[in-house]
Structure 1
Amino acid sequence: MKKFDSLLIYAYGGPESMEDVEPFLQNIAQGKRISQERLAEVLSHYALFDGRSPMNGAIREFMRLWSEEVPEFPVFFGCRYAKPDLKETLRQMAMEGKRRPLVFIPSPFGGYLTTYFEKWTQVQKELANELGEDAFPEAEFFPPFSENTHFLNAVSAGISEVLAKISEERRNDAVLLFSIHSLPTALARRNGYEAEVLAAVKRLEARFPQNRVLLGWQSASAAPIPWLEPSTLDVIQDPIIQDPIIQDPIIQDPIIQDHRVPGTAQPPLLLIPLGFPFENMEVAYDLDVEARELAESLGFPVFRVPTVGLRPEIRVMLQEYITAE
C-alpha cells in the first residue's frame, strides 16, 4: 500500500470579493471585536484589489500544474479562514475515499505551522462526531522545509532572476531585504520560529556573498504585546538598526546609503517575501504597496522577488517526499 493517496494544501486562505472580506476578518478574529477603525483600514487595503486576495488563485494554479505532472495523485485545497473551508474539503475527501493525505501547510517554518493545528484538531473532532472515527483521514503533515535544498534553490533562483534584470555595474550593490511574517516575541522564541528564520536567512546570505542581506518582520498585529522587530518598513527607513545576530559585527558601514544625505544614489532594493510560498494580501499590500511606496519615496529602485510556490522546485520537493520509502 502506498503511504499517501492524496495531497491536501491546508492554507490560510483569503477573500475573493469585497463581500467576502468582512466575514473573513471575523473568522480570523474568532469572536473578538474588531474596531471600526481597524475594519475600515483593512477594507481600504482590500478595496485596492477589488477584495480579491491572490492566495486562492495562486494555489489553484499550483493545483493545475500538479495535476498536469502527476494526474494519478489528486490534490485538494482547504482553508483555515476562508473558502474552500477545511472541514468541507476533508468531508469531500472522506466521501471520495481518501484516507492517507500528505498535508502541506504553505509555510517553511515549523514555528509558524503550529498556529494551524488548533483548527485542524477542532475539525477532526467535529468530523469524527459527524461521520465516525474512521472517516477522518490518517494525515501526515509535510515537515518544516526552511532547510530543504529544493526550497532554498527556489528562493535563490528567484533572487538570481531578479538580479539579472539589474545592470551589471549595480548588481553587486543590490540589497536583499527578506521580509517575514512577525509573531509575538515570546511565542516566536518559545516555538523556535525566530531561530528558524535567522538560520534560513544566514543560509541564503551565504549564497549571495556580494550583496548586503537584511531581515525585516512584517504584518505584526496591533495587539499590545511585543512582536518580533525591526519591521520591514523600519529597516527600509534605517537599515543600521539591524540586529547584530543577523549580520557580522564587522559590517558597520551599510551598503544602503543614508537617505538623509542629499545626492546619494540609492542601491537597488530587492523585497523578498521569504515566509510566504504563495502570493497573498500581506505580500500584495504590505510589500507591493506599502513597502514599495516607502522605498521609492527614499530613492531606492525597488524590485520584488516573486513567491516560490509556483516554481517547479516546490513541486519536486513534495513529489520526492511522497515517493520516498
Structure 2
Amino acid sequence: MPDALDAHPYDALLLLSFGGPEGPDDVVPFLENVTRGRGIPKERLKEVGQHYFLFGGVSPINDQNRALLDALRKDFAEHGLDLPVYWGNRNWAPYLTDTLREMVADGRRRILVLATSAYASYSGCRQYRENLAESLATLEAEGLELPRVDKLRHYFNHPGFIQPMIDGVLKSLAGLPEDVRAGAHLAFTTHSIPNASADTSGPVEDHGDGGAYVKQHLDAARLIADAVREETGTDHPWQLVYQSRSGAPHIPWLEPDICDHLEELHGAGVPAVVMAPIGFVSDHMEVMYDLDTEAKAKAEELGLPVRRSATVGADPRFAAAIRELVVERAATESGRDVKLCALGALGPSHDVCPVGCCPARAPKPAAAGADSPYA
C-alpha cells in the first residue's frame, strides 16, 4: 500500500464543470439554463442548438467528466490519498446545488473545488464562484449546515497540464505529410471573450491589455512551443488565436478568429497548421464543432493541411497534477511548508482570489475568494 497522503483539513473534492445535454430533448432546456435572464427566444435557442443536434443532441463533456472522475479516483487510491470526489455542473445534471446538498448529507464540511477551467477570467473562474455562492445560499435557506468551500488555484502552467499538450502537438506534427511538416505553424486556440472581460481578468494589478487571461495563455503556449522546438529541432512559428465567439457584433472580442487566421496563413504561403486547443480541458462541443467541423472545413476549402491536437482530458498526468494541487493546498491550509509547482514565467497562481479579481458587470456574491460571504 502507498504511504497515505494528507488532505487535512479537506474531506472532499468537488469537480465543478459546465454541463451539457445528453440527448436531443435536453438541448433547448440546457441552453435555457445557460442563457437564463437574457430573454433569448426559444426559436433562437433551437437555431443555436444545431451544433448539438449535429452530434445527436449529445455534448461529449459529461462523458469526459465521468472519465476524469474515474481517473482522479484511481490516482488518489493508487497514491494513498483518502479523499472522495464528487461532481456537479453549472447548467445540467448533476446540478451543483444537488451535489452540494448530497455532500452536506454525507458530512462533508471542508470542500476543495476543481473547476474545469485552467485560466483566470470571469466566465472561467468568478462565475463558478458565483454559482457556488448561489448554491450555498440555497442550502442556507433550507437550514442546512454550510460547508467551507475553497477553490484550487489556476493550473494553466502546471507540468501535468502542459506535458500532455506538448505530446499532443508532437503527435499532430508527426501526423502531417512529411513534405509540409517542417514548415507547419502552431495555432494555439482558446475561447474568445469580450476585450473588456479580458482586460479585467485576474487580480487588479494584472488588469489592462488582455489581463491575466491573455498573459496566462501566452505563457502556456510559449512553454509548449519551446518544448516542441527542443524535441524536434525545428522552430515552428506560433500564435495565440481565438474561437467560439458568441457575442453581439458591435462588442469587441479577442481576435483573430481561428478561421481568419487559417486564411491569413494560407495567403502567406504557410504549408500546414497544427491547431492546439490549449484553452480547453477536454474535447467538448466547442472543440468538436468550432475546430473539428468549422475550422477543418475552412482548411479543406483552402487546401491547407491541418491537424488538431488533443486536450488533456483524463490523461493520468493531469489526474496526478490535481492530486499534487490538492496536497499542496492542504499543506498550505495546515500551515505546513510546501513547494508550489509551476512552469513558465508567471509562477504559481494565487490560492484565494483577491477582491477585484475578474469582476462581474453586475456585482454578485462569490464564494471561495477574499470577498466571499461564506468565509
What is the DSSP-based 3-state SS (H/G/I as helix, E as strand, rest coil) of the residue aligned with 1:70? Answer: helix
Gaps of 5+ in 2: 1-6, 202-211, 230-234, 332-375
**1:214 — aligned with what?**
239
Structure 2 counterpart of 1:81, one-letter code:
N
> Using the alignment, how far apart are the partners of 1:115 and 1:204 within structure 2?
28
- The match for 1:22 among 1, 19, 28 is 28
In structure 1, C-alpha distance between the alignment counterparts of 2:43 and 2:303, rounded to whole Å? 31
Separation of aligned partners in 1, 2:176 and 2:301: 20
Counterparts of 1:190 and 1:198, CA distance in 2: 16
Within the alignment, does 1:320 sit opposite 2:324 as a pair?
yes
**Contact 2:175/2:307, CA 8 A, preserved across alignment:** no
Whether the 8 Å CA contact 2:73–2:84 is kept in 1: the answer is yes
Show the counterpart of 2:296: 292
Matches within 5 A, 1:300-319: 300-319=304-323
Match of 2:149 among 131, 139, 143: 139
- Is structure 2 residue 57 aligned with structure 1 residue 32? no
Within the alignment, does 1:232 sit opposite 2:252 as a pair?
no
Query: Which residue of structure 2 aligns with residue 88 of structure 1?
Result: 98
Aligned amino acid, residue 283 of structure 1: V
Aligned structure 1 segments of 4 or more residues deviating by more than 4 angstroms: none
SS in 1 for 2:142: helix
CA 1:208 to 1:70, structure 2 compared with 1: closer, same or farther past 3 Å?
closer
Percent identity between the two aligned chains: 35
Structure 2 Cα separation of the partners of residues 140 and 286 of structure 1: 33
Q: How far has the Cα of 1:147 moved from its partner?
A: 1.9
Partner of 1:196 in structure 2? 216
Alpha carbons of 1:160 and 1:151: their partners in 2 closer, same or farther (altered >3 Å)?
same
Question: Which of residues 167, 185, 205 is equivalent to 2:225?
Answer: 205
Give CA-to-partner distance per residue, 1:77-116, whole Å, 9 cap, x none: 1111111100001111111112222211111102231232
1:258 matches 2:258: no
* SS across alignment from 2:267: coil
Give yes or no for contact 1:55–1:278 (8 Å, CA) kept in 2.
yes
Q: Which amino acid aligns with 2:219?
A: A
Describe the shift of the 1:44–1:216 C-alpha distance in structure 2 as closer, same or farther (beyond 3 A). Answer: same
Residue 248 of structure 1 corresponds to none
Task: Summarize the alignment of residues 150-189 of structure 1 with structure 2, pairs less than 5 Å apart.
Answer: 150-189=160-199
Report the equivalent of 1:122: 134
- AA of the residue aligned to 1:273: P
CA distance in 1, matches of 2:46, 2:109: 42
Instruction: Tell me, in whole angstroms, the C-alpha distance in 2 between the residues paired with 1:287 and 1:89.
Output: 32
TM-score by length of 1: 0.86
Tell me how far 1:267 sits from its aligned partner. Answer: 2.5
Cα pair 1:80 1:119 within 8 Å, conserved: yes
Distance 1:238 1:35, change over 3 A: farther
CA contact 2:282–2:313 (8 Å) conserved in 1:
yes
Alpha-carbon separation, structure 2, partners of 1:21 and 1:305:
27
Aligned to 1:249: none
Deviations 1:15-38 (A, max 9, x none): 111111111111111122224664
What is the Cα deviation at residue 6 of structure 1? 1.9
CA distance in 2, matches of 1:17, 1:232: 29
Cα distance in 1 for partners of 2:176, 2:286 equals 25
Tell me which moved more, 226-235 or 163-172: 163-172
User: 1:58–1:278: 8 Å Cα contact kept in structure 2?
Assistant: yes
The answer to whether the 8 A contact 2:32-2:45 is kept is no
Gaps spanning 5+ residues in structure 1: where? 240-256
SS in 2 for 1:139: strand
Asked which structure has the greater RCO (Cα within 8 Å, sep 6+), the reply is: 2
User: Closer, same or farther in 2 for the Cα pair 1:38/1:273, shift >3 Å?
Assistant: farther
How far apart, CA to CA, are the structure 2 residues paired with 1:28 and 1:6? 27
SS at match of 2:118: coil
Q: Which residue matches 1:243?
A: none
Letter of the aligned partner of 1:126 in structure 2? T
* Conserved 8 A contact 1:215-1:232: no
Give the secondary structure class of the aligned counterpart of 1:76: strand
Q: Distance in 1 between matches of 2:12 and 2:308?
A: 33
The AA in structure 1 aligned to 2:166 is S
Partner residue in 2 for 1:242: none
Give the Cα separation in 1 of the matches to 2:92 and 2:42: 21
- Say whether residues 1:52 and 2:58 are aligned partners: yes
2:55 and 2:263 mapped to 1: Cα distance? 26
Instruction: Please report how far the alpha carbon of residue 43 of structure 1 lies from its aligned counterpart in structure 2 after TM superposition.
Output: 2.2
Paired with 2:298 and 2:175, the residues of 1 have a C-alpha distance of 22
Cα 1:318–1:238 change in 2 (3 A) is same
RMSD value over aligned CA atoms? 1.9
* Separation in structure 1 between the aligned mates of residue 14 and residue 224 of structure 2, nearest angstrom: 28
State the alpha-carbon separation in 1 of the partners of residues 253 and 142 from structure 2: 39
